[in-house]
Each structure stands twice: as C-alpha cells, then as structure tokens.
Amino acid sequence: MPLSSSLFFADESKFKDHVASDGSFLHAPKLSVKSVKVMRGKGGDGQSCSDAGSLSILLSLPKASSFTFYEFGVYFKVVNDSSKNNVLAGSQYPMLPVKVSGNKAEYILVWVDERPEDQRKIDLELEIFSVTHRMEIGASSKAWVKSE
C-alpha cells in the first residue's frame, strides 16, 4: 500500500459514460465523508519519515453509483484554515486513493510537520469533490480537520 495518495491526471480517452435507467448521463458522484484522522509528526533526526504528519480521509460513493474510485480524482480544497497552519498547502491537485474496499476509499495526504514542541493546532474546513477524466466536477462535501 502506498504511503500517500498519488496524483490523478485527467485523460479524456479514459472517460467512461455512465447512463441512468432513463437514458440520461450521470454526473461525477458526490462523495460522503466517513472519517477523518490526523497523525502529527513526532520529530526526528531528518533521516526518517517520523517528521511527517498525515491526514487520512475515508470517503464513500453513493450506494447506487456506477462509478468506481479509479474513474476520477478527488480534490481536497482548504476553504478555511482558522489555525493558519498551512499543512495542506501542497495538496492542490486531484488525488487517487491509497486503498479501495467496495464503495469506500482511503486518501492519505502528508506534510512535513514541525517538531512536537513547535506544532500548532490544526483547524481546517475542507471542500471535497470528485473530478472525472473529462474534467467534470461533482457536487462537494465538507470535512472538518482538527488536531491540538
């Protein structure tokens, strides 16, 4: 399993139309946020990954969705960072999941964290939406990320 989510690159040749029973085309799915977990860096000697912080987000597709998690990327947009921590400043691209199980997928975003004694709290509001290979954007969901 990868240590973090990899980038999604839109490619229209990979786009697959999804058609509803009435013949209409289905749009990019709206995702549900199932869980959000933060792991702070523990410092270190600069030689290991112990200084990495990570954010694990578990998302799910609607039960009746014909899409799979590999048919689109997921964009995590910071809409409010009241802590001014900028931990996800480098996560400005759609991502692929690190793990998929049925209609659920886990995404892991990482950053170089400060030493534990210098760490500031994390207080973020995220807007999360899918982006298809045709660059169609799905309806957004919200997630709140908090850590002391």
What domains sit in the chain, N to C, each tagged with a CATH number?
12-147 (2.60.40)
pLDDT band at 86 (very low <50, low <70, confident <90, very high): confident
pTM of the model: 0.84
pLDDT band at 129 (very low <50, low <70, confident <90, very high): very high
> Measuring CA to CA, which residue among 106, 111, 109 is closest to residue 60?
106
Residue with tokens 């869980």: 35
Question: What b/e string do you get for 64-102 counting C-beta neighbours within 10 Å, with b at 16 or more?
Answer: eeebebebbbbbbebeebeeebebbeebeebbbbbeeee
C-alpha distances out from residue 137 to 73, 118, 127, Å: 10, 38, 12
Residue with tokens 């991502």: 95
145 and 123 Cβ atoms separated by less than 8 Å: yes
| Type of residue at 36 | V
pLDDT exceeds 80 at position 26: no
R_g over Cα of the chain: 17
Q: Which of 48-52, 65-69, 118-122, 136-140 holds the top average pLDDT?
A: 136-140
